[in-house]
Amino acid sequence: MKRVKSNFYDKVIAVARRYCGDDFLKKFTEIVKEREENLALDLKEAKGKFEVSSEVQESIIDEIKFDTLLSLSGAMLEQFKFIQMCFDIGDICMTYGEFDKAESCFLLVIKRSGKGREFDEVRAKAYVKLGEVKTKQNEINDAISALRQGLKIYKKLRNVDGISTCENGLGIAFFESGRYDYGLTYFNQALKKAEKSKNEELIAGLHINLGIIESMRGNWDKAISHFRQALPRLEKRGDALRLAQTYHNIGVTLIHKGEYDAAIKEFERSIEIAQRVEDSYMLALAYLGKADAYVRIKDLPLATAYATMALDTFYKIGDRQSIADAYRILGIVQLEHGNLHLAESYFMTAIDLNLEFKNWLNLGETYYELSQLYKKQSQIDKARESLSSSLKYFKKIKVKSYIARIQAELEQLK
C-alpha cells in the first residue's frame, strides 16, 4: 500500500512540475519538509500525555502534501492553467482510488471557473467528473445532481457530445443504483447522439454499458451484440484495458448462456491483455471469470485456484463487490464437495456484501445457489424462502430466463 501511495504522489508531483516548473517544486518541498518536521517535534513532546500513531502521522503528512501542492500552485498559476492542472491531478486521483482528493480537484475547477463559453465548457466537464467520483463513492443522488448540472450547461451551449457524455454518466449512476430502466433509457439517448456526431470513443463505451445492462437483464444475445460492436472501435483506438474489460464481459455473458468453453477463451483473451498492460485488477476479474466457468464444468480445483488468486487482489484494493462474487463461487465449490455448512457460510457472506451494494443480479444468483443447498439438506421451507428471495431480485432487473426457471422450481416445492 505504501508503494502505491508513493507512486500516486510521484505522479501528482510530476504533473505539478510540468505546469509550475522546478522552482515551484523546490519551494513546495521546503514547505512540506518544514511542516513535517514541526509536526513531528510537537507530537514527540506530546508523547508522554497523548500518543499519535506513526500511521496517523504518515496519513496527515500525505494530506498536508496534497493540500499544500494545490494551494501553492493555485497562487502562482494563471486561472486557466490551474484549472487544467486540477483536471490532470483529479484524473490521477481517480485512477488510484483517491476519490476524496479527486472531488477536491473538480470542486476547485468549478469554484475557479470564470464567465464566458470557455469557462462554461470547463465547468460542465468538472460536473461530469464530479458525477463520476460520486458514482464510484456510491453517493448516487449527489452523482445525479452533479451530472444534471453538467447537462444543463451543455444544453445551453448546444454541445451534443457533452450532452451525450452526461447522459452516459446518468445511465451509469442509475445502473449502479439498480434502476436499470432509467439507465437503459439514458444510454440509448446518448448512443443516438454519439452516432449522429460520430464520436467513436463514446459509441464504444455506450455499447459496453448497454451490453452490461442487457446481460444483467438476461438478454444474452443482445448483450453480446453490443459488446462485439464495441470491440473493433476499441481495437482501432488501441484501448487495451477496455478491450480486456469487454472480452471479460463477453465471457461472463457466455457463462449465463451455458457456453462455458467459449467463455474460458474470452477470459483468456482478457488475461493476455491484462498481463501485457500490467493491470492487476483486470487480471483478477478475468481470473474470477475463469473460476466461475470452471465451477460450472465441475473442475473444482481450478475453480478454487483462480478464485483464490482473484480474492488476493480484491482484498488488497478493498473491492467488496468482487469479493462477494468470489465468495459465491467458493460457496458453489464447497456445495459440490458436499461441505454444506461451509458452503452456506460463503453464500451468507456474499449475500450480506451484495445487499450493501444493491447488486441485484448477484443476490439473485446467490440466493438461488443457497436454495439448492437447502434442497440437498431436505430443508424445503428454507429452500422455498431462498428461491422466493432469488425471484424477488431477478424480478427487480427483469431477468426473464431466471424468473421462469425459479417459478417452475417453486411450483415443484408446493
Low-confidence ranges of the chain (pLDDT < 70): 1-6
Cell of 328: 459465491
CA 291 to CA 303: how far, in whole Å? 4
Assign a CATH topology to domain 319-414: 1.25.40
Cα–Cα dist 20/73, whole Å: 7
3-state secondary structure of 150: helix
CB of 90 within 8 A of CB of 99?
Answer: no
3 burial class (0-12, 13-18, 19+ CB within 10 angstroms)?
exposed
Picking from 300, 248, 303, the residue whose alpha carbon sits closest to that of residue 279 is: 248
Per CATH, 216-300 and 319-414 having the same topology is answered: yes
Taking the domains of the chain in order of start, what are their residue ranges? 216-300, 319-414
The CATH code belonging to domain 216-300 is 1.25.40.10
What is the C-alpha separation between 108 and 11, in angstroms, rounded?
A: 19
Spatial contact of 274 and 289, defined as CB atoms under 8 Å apart: no
Question: Which cell is 283 given?
Answer: 487480471
CB atoms within 10 A of CB 125: 22
The cell numbers describing 246, all together, are: 469487454
Question: Could you please report the per-residue DSSP string of 287-348?
Answer: HHHHHHHHHHTT-HHHHHHHHHHHHHHHHHHT-HHHHHHHHHHHHHHHHHHT-HHHHHHHHH
Question: Closest Cα to residue 213, out of 80, 408, 413, 396?
Answer: 396
pLDDT tens digit sequence for 348-378: 999 999 998 888 889 999 999 999 999 999 9
285 close to 325: Cβ distance less than 8 angstroms? no
Cα distance between residue 165 and residue 188, in whole Å: 12
Please give the full DSSP string across 162-223, using - where no structure is assigned. Answer: HHHHHHHHHHHHHHHTT-HHHHHHHHHHHHHHHHHHT-HHHHHHHHHHHHHHHHHTT-HHHH
φ, ψ of residue 48 in degrees (nearest 5): -65, -30
Rounded to 5°, the CA angle 267-270-275 comes to: 125
pLDDT of residue 163: 97
Angle, vertex CA 135, rays to CA 131 and CA 137, nearest 5: 115
Q: What is the pLDDT of residue 383?
A: 97
How far apart (Å, rounded) are the C-alpha atoms in residues 308 and 295? 13
Residue 319 is predicted with a pLDDT of 84
DSSP 78: -
Give this prediction's pTM: 0.79
CA distance readout (Å), 222 to 217, 219, 225, 254, 396: 10, 6, 5, 12, 19
Cβ contacts of residue 151 below 8 Å, gap of 6+?
A: 163, 166, 167, 170
